[in-house]
Amino acid sequence: MIVLNGGSSSGKSSIARTLQEILPGIWLTFGVDTFIDALPAGGDSPRAGITFEQDGTITFSAEHRALERSWYTGLSAMARAGAHLILDEVLLSGRAGQERLRTAFSDMELIWVGVRCDPDVAASREAGRLDRVEGMARQQALSVHAGVVYDVEVEVDTTHNSTEGCARDIARQLWLEAFAC
């Protein structure tokens, strides 16, 4: 299982889609946007348990966190049954978010990839998207990486590199590691 972690508008979803096309086998991609879309009103209802603040800060209710654990339990079952998964995540709490995922997928190998993008570039991309709260991309660009340890050593930065090029670099690194043994 591959976990792509990066802020809003960093290019994770595009990288995930490209990885689906270039990695051997069939890979499914799921992530925070898939989960949010499944919530009441696509996450915009108070019943979704998400609060989007004016400055881009996002907070979650205890009920939302419990449902998120159920989501990860379901994805973990899919992976255990043999599905290849790419998770497109925004670890708002950095290392604590990584630990939540490690706990949910404790019996399987996770390959951690940090997707970086300059805060100004991410904010510019965000401005062109109607489904984003202004300020999220700038706030998340650096904070989602705080304390997170990554496995892929290549520079995955979409500031000046295409998402396709980043995906190819990730695939190349994974291939090299798979055959290094």
* pLDDT of res. 79: 95
What residues contact 174, with CB distance under 8 A and at least 6 apart?
A: 2, 23, 111, 152
Residue 131 three-state SS: coil
37 annotated active-site = no
Domains of the chain (ranges plus CATH)?
2-178 (3.40.50.300)
Answering whether pTM is above 0.85, one says: yes
Per annotation, catalytic residue among 33, 55, 88, 107: 33
pLDDT, tens only, 50-87 = 998 777 678 999 999 999 999 999 999 999 999 999 99
140/54 Cα distance (integer angstroms): 14
Q: Percentage of the chain surpassing pLDDT 90?
A: 73
**Bridge partners of residue 27, in order along the sequence:** 84
* DSSP for 94-120, written as a single string: THHHHHHHHHHTTTS--EEEE-B--HH
**What integer pLDDT is reported at residue 129 of this predicted model?**
75
Q: Is pLDDT at 181 greater than 70 in this prediction?
A: no
